[in-house]
Amino acid sequence: QQCYSEIKQAAAGNRKMLAVLIDPEKFVESEASDFFQNLPKETSFLLVGGSTVKSGRTCEVVKFLKNISGLPIILFPGDQNQISPHADALLFLILISGRNPEYLIEQQVRSVNRIKNTNLEIIPTGYILIDGGRECAVHRVSNTKPLPQNDIESIVNTALAGQYSGNKLIYLEAGSGAKNPVSAEIIKAVRKEISIPLIVGGGIRSAEQLKNAYDAGADLVVIGTAFENGSFEE
């Protein structure tokens, strides 16, 4: 239970955490040393996953990352094919903003045989897709509608329903490459109501946006695209 207790303790002590997301489809092994050199020193985790990844590729990337980095690897799978026993932990995602049974239970049931004989730390996570102002892959692949940013009540109630159902984390997702990250107003409103750690990601590409998410109450922020293409603004 190491990754989760680290997140929980950090959240309890108001120590903000950063996870860098690696999409196995876009990761290039020969560019890895530059990539790692440019990561902020305070990076706590590597998240590995994407919306559409060819079978087997996640495992390859996870093994590669294990060899070159000491950071814990948490899987963030778009589907059950992206589960690798070589990672440390798994965000067991339930897409609670959507109403598609495929991502509420079907993928989860199908993933069991890949998980049950591994040492992966399973972290049940209520995953909430929020409109980031741009058509995103989660929306397309899951065929579920993102919640509008102005419907704060639905977002808060969805997060609370996620907590009441036993999830250990809530993840507010604006979609990879979002034009508008999840607003500070939403983060504050959700933070005020839930008592489990809060993850925020999607479209965060500058130190200022990162600070805004932390100040509003995010415990762990996930950044993918901005580090992937080296465009993060300090």
Residue pair 93/76 in contact by the 8 Å Cβ criterion = yes
| Secondary structure in 3-state letters for 146-174 | CECCCCHHHHHHHHHHHHHCCCCEEEEEC
Distance, CA of 161 to CA of 155 (rounded, Å): 10
Distance, CA of 196 to CA of 16 (rounded, Å): 14
Size of the site for ligand 1GP (CB under 6 A): 14
List the beta strands (DSSP E) in 103-226: 121-129, 169-173, 198-201, 220-223
Q: Where is 72: in which H helix or E strand?
A: none
Q: Which is nearer to ligand 1GP, 88 or 228 (CB)?
A: 228
Among 158, 203, 209, 213, binds ligand 1GP (CB under 6 A): 203
Among 202, 216, 217, 232, binds ligand 1GP (CB under 6 A): 202
Instruction: Please check if 202 is assigned to a binding site.
Output: yes
Distances in whole angstroms, Cα of residue 156 to Cα of each of 126, 152, 205? 12, 6, 25
Question: Is position 24 an interface residue for ligand 1GP (rule: CB under 6 A)?
Answer: no
For the chain, give percent helix, strand, coil, nearest 5. 40, 20, 40
Per-residue DSSP letter, 145: P
Instruction: Please check if 173 is assigned to a binding site.
Output: yes
R_g of the chain computed on alpha carbons: 16
Instruction: Please check if 50 is assigned to a binding site.
Output: no
Q: Which is nearer to ligand 1GP, 51 or 163 (CB)?
A: 51
Question: Is position 204 an interface residue for ligand 1GP (rule: CB under 6 A)?
Answer: yes
Binding to ligand 1GP (CB under 6 A) within 171-200 occurs at 173, 176-178
Q: Which is nearer to ligand 1GP, 124 or 203 (CB)?
A: 203
Q: Which residue is nearest to ligand 1GP (CB)?
A: 201
Q: Find the shortest distance in angstroms from Cβ 223 to ligand 1GP.
A: 5
Distance, CA of 224 to CA of 217 (rounded, Å): 20
Instruction: Please check if 43 is assigned to a binding site.
Output: no
Q: Which two tokens stand for residue 107?
A: 């993928």
Question: Is position 72 an interface residue for ligand 1GP (rule: CB under 6 A)?
Answer: no
Q: Which stretch binds ligand 1GP (CB under 6 A): 9-17, 106-114, 147-155, 220-228?
A: 220-228
Distance, CA of 20 to CA of 109 (rounded, Å): 27
Q: Find the shortest distance in angstroms from Cβ 204 to ligand 1GP.
A: 6
Q: Which is nearer to ligand 1GP, 162 or 203 (CB)?
A: 203
User: Binding site for sn-glycerol 1-phosphate, residues?
Assistant: 171-177, 202-203, 224-225
- Binding interface with ligand 1GP (CB under 6 A): 21, 173, 176-178, 201-204, 222-226
User: Binding site, residues?
Assistant: 23, 51, 171-177, 202-203, 224-225
